[in-house]
Structure 1
Amino acid sequence: MRTPPGRVLRATALAMVSDYMSLNAAGCAFYATLALFPAMTMLISIYGMAFDPVTVEPQLAYLRQIMPSAAYQLLSDRVHELVSNHSGTLTISLAVSLMIAFWSAASGTKSLIWALNFAYRRKETRSVFQFQALAMVMTFGAILAAVLGIGVLVGLPTAFSALGLSRYTAQLAHLSGIAGLFAFVLGMLSLFYKIGPAPHPDGVGPVLPGALAAAILWLLISVLFSFYVSNIASYSAAYGALGAAVGVMMWFWVSAYAVLFGAELNAQIDRVRKPHRHHGNSVRGPVADELFAPENLTVADETLAVESDASAGGRARPHA
């Protein structure tokens, strides 16, 4: 017998509250805002070494639909400035600037990794060097994937024309861009959920359900948030010149919340499937633990727990 999906979703929603994920998302948004411009500097610099950096700007149109207008304009202006001043050569000063930008951009990734440990109830066991190295590798991987993704989008019109689809090039390129953005987010989230949390002897568990839910939720709330800011509430009216920066930070907050919701969903699914994973080097959440406490489990949950214990070698499930 299977645990009802509604029970897992309820546990996820309660865990988002008990694990203070709103506060964690706010911390992620702060560091992501600080890391945004350094990451953009790295993106344009690396992209410009292999492609024409001018081709980056048209690809920003895909972000217009999911970002607040003021935030999008701030991002677009910065990209235009970077593209206009790009030299195309790797000088010593540029290399130093890239290293500083890389270190700053990794701070956003580190904040997300810490938040993932809360979601998965893990104690961080990696050394400072390992933790920093993981954050840098993940940051560089995301930037490199973005570079390759932009390169593919730039080459799509030519590919469609070569296939005899020039009549539909604009429509196909637009749809491909949206699909590519979704695939990029889904892939990055899956990888992030897989290698981000602190190591556990039994591994991480399922990552695709949470990644898929987070990607869909992120696109949905980004579009709704953009519509809200553009048509109902303007941050520029309340914050003046800081309105664009506040809009960016709020967008990062709702984005981080979606990412952490996916992590909590994966953790709760894994918690029901294999309860023994969540003992030992885990940090347990009070509300979710109460919901899945032995006295509150249904017959289906108890049956699933017994099956999980049997598959794990007959280990009895410890009680809190």
Structure 2
Amino acid sequence: MEDSAAEAPGRKARRPTEMGRAAWKMVLVRVWQGIATDHLSIIAAGVAFFGILAIFPAIAALIAAYGFVADPHHVAETLEAARPLLPAEVFAAIEGQVDALLAAPQAKLGVASLVSFALVLWSARAGVSALMEGMNVVYREVDTRSIVVQYLISLALTLAFIAVEIVALFAVVAVPTVLNFTSIGVVGQTLARVAPLAILGAAIVFIIGALYRYAPRRAPARKRWITVGAVMAAVGWLAVSVALSAYFARFPDFNRTYGSLGAIVGLLFWLYASTFVVLLGAELNAQLELQTEMDTTTGRPRPMGDRGAYVADHVA
């Protein structure tokens, strides 16, 4: 419902940090209500379905792209750094696929595989397309772009995410090596152990933030209006992964129930929970924008109604 009260909390906030306790309380109440009204659980389940179809082609595309510029076996080294962040069943499923791809003849990962790379890239973008639809729901947008444009955007985002992961792979391999050879002793060794997780965490926040900014069909929001949700989603993803790790370890009947499908079911459940927290972060960002009447989009400030984004053009 529109609220025209000029003195409503947070109406003049130019950034989330300018909102007081009353405004934040209103935002969080609407986020809680939005879980049901925006059907986040159902959307997360749909995205998880497409995600499980896309995750293995995405891994293949990442290894193929990385193999063009460096030793693809570095992917396995980086995967070890992510072991503490992932449930055992999820890690096992991903590790098995990575090992199988790395064991393939080198020719299959070289320049001659450009056509195969394009095909797996096209398959990998299915998960991003599903996330784009989820973002449009959360941000109250109707995607009027043509199907060709939607496919091109999802493909561009997929390529961008792979590029970010390649940079993160380089950093995860190179930074600890450099730190281990520095003259700062124990401090350098400690930083070398922490650096891989910090780099992966920064990459996750960047990718989630890019989704919030470019996936929905709307005028892009300023970084300050997507950072809060991106950080919350990254922290939530870490908490969910740790919780699922504890759950899978505590209930050994899980594998006995699902048998050989245990790893796939665990991966599907992890994708569902991960997508849910990403959508929840987007919901938080959307409700923060709805709390203020100030322009939250990029570019020069425009009056409400001319900003090109529902949550920027309305107040809650």
TM-score, normalised via structure 1 length: 0.82
Amino acid at match of 1:204: A
Contact 2:233 2:278 in 1 (8 A): yes
Taking only aligned residues, the RMSD between alpha carbons, in angstroms, comes to 2.6
Residue 224 of structure 2 is aligned to residue 204 of structure 1: no
Residue 174 of structure 2 is aligned to residue 158 of structure 1: no
Q: 2:83 aligns with which of 42, 51, 64?
A: 64
Contact 2:209 2:230 in 1 (8 A): yes
Amino acid at match of 1:147: I
Residue 174 of structure 2 is aligned to residue 129 of structure 1: no
Contact 1:235 1:246 in 2 (8 A): no
Mapped partners of 1:87, 1:318: distance in 2: 55
Q: 1:312 aligns with which of 299, 303, 316?
A: 303
Q: 2:110 aligns with which of 90, 95, 107?
A: 90
Contact 2:141 2:217 in 1 (8 A): yes
Mapped partners of 2:253, 2:119: distance in 1: 34
**Which shifted more, 77-86 or 143-152?**
77-86
Distance 1:233-1:20 versus aligned 2 partners, 3 A rule: farther
Contact 1:65 1:226 in 2 (8 A): no
The equivalent of 1:282 in structure 2 is none
1:59 CA drift (Å)? 1.4
- 1:145-198 residue CA offsets vs partner (Å, 9 max, x unmatched): 111111111112331144324655553222111111111111111111111111
Give aligned-pair identity as a percent.
Answer: 29
Contact 1:125 1:199 in 2 (8 A): no
Q: 1:247 aligns with which of 266, 276, 289?
A: 266
Amino acid at match of 2:240: I
Where does structure 1 lack aligned partners over 5 or more consecutive residues?
A: 278-310
Contact 2:293 2:304 in 1 (8 A): no
Residue 93 of structure 2 is aligned to residue 48 of structure 1: no
Distance 1:198-1:165 versus aligned 2 partners, 3 A rule: same
Q: Which runs of 4+ in 1 moved over 4 A?
A: 166-170, 317-320
Mapped partners of 1:319, 1:63: distance in 2: 41
Distance 1:98-1:7 versus aligned 2 partners, 3 A rule: same
Map 1:1-320; keep pairs closer than 5 Å.
1-2=9-10, 3-87=22-106, 90-92=110-112, 94-165=113-184, 167-168=186-187, 170-200=189-219, 203-204=220-221, 206-232=225-251, 234-274=253-293, 312=303
1:63 CA drift (Å)? 2.5
What is the DSSP-based 3-state SS (H/G/I as helix, E as strand, rest coil) of the residue aligned with 1:102? helix
Mapped partners of 2:149, 2:155: distance in 1: 10
- 1:62-90 residue CA offsets vs partner (Å, 9 max, x unmatched): 33223221221121111111112151663
Amino acid at match of 2:172: L
Mapped partners of 2:64, 2:123: distance in 1: 15
Distance 1:20-1:83 versus aligned 2 partners, 3 A rule: same
What is the DSSP-based 3-state SS (H/G/I as helix, E as strand, rest coil) of the residue aligned with 1:199? coil
How many residues are paired up? Answer: 284
Distance 1:166-1:37 versus aligned 2 partners, 3 A rule: farther
TM-score, normalised via structure 2 length: 0.83
